[in-house]
Chains A and B, each alone.
Chain A
């Protein structure tokens, strides 16, 4: 059985088992008893990571619907890293915020299972299944702070809009099935290529609906409305998790469906995505300027980053595919780090995410301020950080495909975004602390996780070769 059709789902099995164990452990926990639930979650994630590495050269496939090709495994590894960092950051904040640990970790793990399946699925219906698994877990996580109005409101909004998007997505699948007679991505591609379908309204409608569904999940303009509210209302660590994990998974599925299944139609959908990408970059950065809450600011920043990733998708060439993978990895590390800092500075009553809360942080928490600076510089795309290489990579893809306009919009919007990242830096370094209470001290393990992410950000910025080679190897087998 081991060498059989279950190979491809081993990473997901590891995480699922860990999730179940966490739930059970919570059920048998005595009142007041402390349990290392986070540790159990970590074991599952590390297992999934090891399984993904072992499957690297295997090319396993299960049930004709789940694949473990390198592209999926690369995304899996990003998701494992996201999961590990999330769990480590959570270990402090759960207790502080009084969240139910068992449910929390289990939901995180189930969401990761959904995300992994998004990357691994080769059938539109399975992608839909994965999308729902991921989304429902994340809706609940968003509303985890039940006693807080903002959290509940955010979860409700996210849920309603997300449900709409899911139905769009499903409707799109139905149209595509109607035209091509299959929901399998590969067969769909051959079916489309076999008969020239350009201009067929049914398929265009199907593609359009899929674009709406995916755009919603990666918060691309004009389907981004939910994200600032959801990001602001959710517990900060969950925001970090959503902004990196959900985005990575949705992008992975987006890439697979569009660059593999719908690749023959690229001339039809690329112009649409061009506009979406451009609008996403512009709106994300320009509206981000006006924010005073750090979480909202980073929410808009993450919208803008979605736009940069889309630029790689629009380019559609090999450089573009690899650049998306690199971007996802770099962005995940950076954004988790930035949100991690915010999460650690919060208290039970307040998220402490107002810009003013960061005044003089350099004087009270020099270490955290320095780390935050690295993350912000990386988000802004300064060398020598991962963010710079990632941006260079996607814009290189766009320029290689001849999309100079998109690249120019991208670089200029990234200059605009630098302005709001620097507002935070100004607050931390150049403003004196006012009379607000000093934020709590930072636990060592979370600090260690932050330092690891920072080193990762620097490593990818200074010596990106290895990851670039990996990314290139990952796409070579499937596209």
Chain B
């Protein structure tokens, strides 16, 4: 089933290669074929969701498939998902058709190649989220860069080449050190047990010496926080986003940034628990800087796309904060926030893309008073804006709230600063909304702009619906994730007591978190949210 989800887009891409390539209106076949394959993949991911057993008693990883790949080194094609991977895979399946649709107009040359890259991207992202063999994980992780590089470089805006190269070099520089650490881990496994293994679940059980943990943790974490991206490694993001074509931005912000958060939760933290506890305060500090810094920089952007890009830096800072808290609420909040941010930021990029399709500019100053011209687009934008700033009842709220709850249990000081980010996000988003949509029509060239077309409804409709639905009923997302998150937190906490106390000076020691009872529900984030929501 998982293999189907990975191979279906690849098969689609291969088939597309044999379709004649014509630019212009006749590309319909290529476009529809790509859309059909991405929708079919989405259907597969939904089927995975439907077949997933979310109860705590169920197997940790489901839909497991395992085939030896390079037996000489214990490398397997080994995939399987828990609730966390499941939701990210569904998000990938959901956003890819939307991204394809969002490029229906703006991508008008070499449509065939574009569609091929898009499908390859989807396949490799799904691969990243379900790989249980870290070699396989790395293969997918690294491969993701190639289609994205081409997408930015060929279909992007004026500075696209610079942005594409910066993107690929920046992210690769982080990843290759992770490769060294991955190889190091397999050798460690070989020395300790006598056999090579890249099996994640076996590596979890490895007792890694503490000094080694620190180095390996740093190598993994560097790769992931560049991807997220965390301050001060975020500088590739605004370039990549601004230059990427709309579908590229949607996938980049919607799914690719999540690969970083996912990697931290799945690999870096549980593999190296002592190091994770040691470095958590540092990561949290960087994350609150990112939250506030991203928000402040977003506020002064004249370009809507850049504004959304910096808002991503801020929102993804929350994700890191939640992970660094290392408790159920924090990590569950981080996971939820990744989904929520994927939906809302994906939608924001789509809407900016629609405005840019119409006017070929994304400068806020070029717009104003669009509400009278396009009331429907304005309404949708309002929903998405509110979701992005985290209005209760919308998806953005749940994630940020849970993260702050988790972080508060750990160290309230971080929450104080992070809360500042929540306020600032309201400032920059609403201010942009006001300048673009309210007031009088300030620019005559905006007169006569059409409202949402059917295709555009098909893009923003589902996004807005999901933003509201998961906000009102967050358990639909939180429930499957809960056992997975619980297990990861248990794994990290289990190593906490002795070693950390011995290593850290008291001032740097992470605040002991409340012992987490195994019974789900007692401290379950799911229940808390239900209590708090109005």
Q: Do A408 and B180 touch (CB < 8 A)?
A: yes
Q: Do B69 and A411 touch (CB < 8 A)?
A: no
A131 at the interface (CB under 8 A from B): no
Instruction: Closest A residue to B21 by CB, please name it.
Output: A366
On whether A383 and B142 interact (CB within 8 A), knowing A412-B176, A426-B165, the answer reads yes
Choose among B135, B143, B145 the residue with the greatest number of A CB atoms under 10 Å from its CB.
B143
Contact among B143, B183, B186 for A384, CB-based, below 8 A: B143
A465 at the interface (CB under 8 A from B): yes
Choose among B69, B139, B177, B190 the residue with the greatest number of A CB atoms under 10 Å from its CB.
B139
Distance of A430 Cα from B161 Cα, bound (Å): 7
Interface residues of A in 457-479 (CB under 8 A from B): 464-465, 468-469, 472
On whether A465 and B187 interact (CB within 8 A), knowing A382-B146, A414-B176, the answer reads no
B506 at the interface (CB under 8 A from A): no
Q: Do A415 and B173 touch (CB < 8 A)?
A: yes
Q: Do A382 and B161 touch (CB < 8 A)?
A: no
A442 at the interface (CB under 8 A from B): no
Q: Do B153 and A407 touch (CB < 8 A)?
A: no
Contact among A388, A400, A422, A425 for B187, CB-based, below 8 A: A400
B70 at the interface (CB under 8 A from A): yes
Write the nearest CB–CB distance from B356 to chain A, whole angstroms.
20
Write the nearest CB–CB distance from B122 to chain A, whole angstroms.
16
Write the nearest CB–CB distance from A65 to chain B, whole angstroms.
33
Distance of A296 Cα from B221 Cα, bound (Å): 37
Q: Do B165 and A388 touch (CB < 8 A)?
A: no
A6 at the interface (CB under 8 A from B): no
Chain A neighbourhood of B234, CB < 8 A: none
Q: Do A465 and B69 touch (CB < 8 A)?
A: yes
B179 at the interface (CB under 8 A from A): yes
Distance of A418 Cα from B149 Cα, bound (Å): 12
Instruction: Closest A residue to B149 by CB, please name it.
Output: A422
Segment touching B, from A53-61, A153-161, A391-399: A391-399
Chain A neighbourhood of B70, CB < 8 A: 464-465, 468
Chain B neighbourhood of A164, CB < 8 A: none
Distance of A224 Cα from B237 Cα, bound (Å): 39
Instruction: Closest A residue to B153 by CB, please name it.
Output: A430
Q: Do B146 and A399 touch (CB < 8 A)?
A: no
Write the nearest CB–CB distance from A165 to chain B, whole angstroms.
33
Instruction: Closest B residue to A363 by CB, please name it.
Output: B110
Interface string of B172-206 (1 = CB under 8 A from A): 11001101100110110010000000000000000
Write the nearest CB–CB distance from B161 to chain A, whole angstroms.
5
A419 at the interface (CB under 8 A from B): yes
Instruction: Closest B residue to A322 by CB, please name it.
Output: B72
Q: Do B177 and A411 touch (CB < 8 A)?
A: yes
Q: Do B69 and A408 touch (CB < 8 A)?
A: no
A429 at the interface (CB under 8 A from B): yes
B310 at the interface (CB under 8 A from A): no
On whether A418 and B168 interact (CB within 8 A), knowing A407-B180, A411-B177, the answer reads yes
Distance of A382 Cα from B176 Cα, bound (Å): 11
Interface residues of B in 37-65 (CB under 8 A from A): none
Interface string of A327-352 (1 = CB under 8 A from B): 00000000000000000000000000
Write the nearest CB–CB distance from B516 to chain A, whole angstroms.
36
Distance of A6 Cα from B450 Cα, bound (Å): 84
Chain A neighbourhood of B135, CB < 8 A: 392
A377 at the interface (CB under 8 A from B): yes
Distance of A472 Cα from B196 Cα, bound (Å): 15
B14 at the interface (CB under 8 A from A): no
On whether A404 and B184 interact (CB within 8 A), knowing A383-B143, A415-B176, the answer reads yes
Interface residues of B in 122-169 (CB under 8 A from A): 135, 138-140, 142-143, 145-146, 149-150, 153-154, 160-161, 164-165, 168-169
Distance of A341 Cα from B71 Cα, bound (Å): 35
Distance of A88 Cα from B180 Cα, bound (Å): 39
Write the nearest CB–CB distance from B73 to chain A, whole angstroms.
7
Chain B neighbourhood of A419, CB < 8 A: 165, 169
CB-based A-B contact count at 8 angstroms:
81
Chain A neighbourhood of B179, CB < 8 A: 392, 395, 411
Write the nearest CB–CB distance from B383 to chain A, whole angstroms.
37
Interface string of A402-424 (1 = CB under 8 A from B): 00100110011011001100100
Chain B neighbourhood of A377, CB < 8 A: 146
Chain B neighbourhood of A472, CB < 8 A: 72
Write the nearest CB–CB distance from B165 to chain A, whole angstroms.
6
Distance of A465 Cα from B77 Cα, bound (Å): 12
Write the nearest CB–CB distance from A98 to chain B, whole angstroms.
37
Chain A neighbourhood of B161, CB < 8 A: 426, 430
Chain B neighbourhood of A426, CB < 8 A: 153, 161, 164-165
Q: Do B154 and A465 touch (CB < 8 A)?
A: no
Distance of A465 Cα from B169 Cα, bound (Å): 29
Write the nearest CB–CB distance from B211 to chain A, whole angstroms.
13
Write the nearest CB–CB distance from B481 to chain A, whole angstroms.
29
Chain B neighbourhood of A464, CB < 8 A: 70
Distance of A260 Cα from B183 Cα, bound (Å): 27
Chain A neighbourhood of B140, CB < 8 A: 383
Chain B neighbourhood of A400, CB < 8 A: 183, 187, 190
Write the nearest CB–CB distance from B472 to chain A, whole angstroms.
41
Q: Do A429 and B150 touch (CB < 8 A)?
A: yes
Known A415-B173, A422-B168, A465-B71; further 8 A-B contacts with Cβ < 8 A: A384-B143, A396-B183, A396-B186, A407-B183, A418-B168, A464-B70, A468-B72, A469-B72
Q: Which 9 residue pairs are nearest across A and B when measured between Cβ atoms?
A: A411-B176, A383-B139, A399-B183, A430-B153, A396-B183, A415-B172, A415-B173, A400-B187, A383-B143
* B contact set with A: CB distance below 8 Å: 68-73, 135, 138-140, 142-143, 145-146, 149-150, 153-154, 160-161, 164-165, 168-169, 172-173, 176-177, 179-180, 183-184, 186-187, 190
* A contact set with B: CB distance below 8 Å: 377, 382-384, 388, 392, 395-396, 399-400, 404, 407-408, 411-412, 414-415, 418-419, 422, 425-426, 429-430, 464-465, 468-469, 472
**Interchain Cβ contacts under 8 Å between A and B, 19 examples:** A383-B142, A395-B183, A396-B73, A396-B186, A399-B187, A400-B183, A400-B187, A400-B190, A411-B177, A412-B173, A412-B177, A415-B176, A419-B169, A422-B165, A429-B153, A430-B161, A465-B68, A468-B73, A472-B72
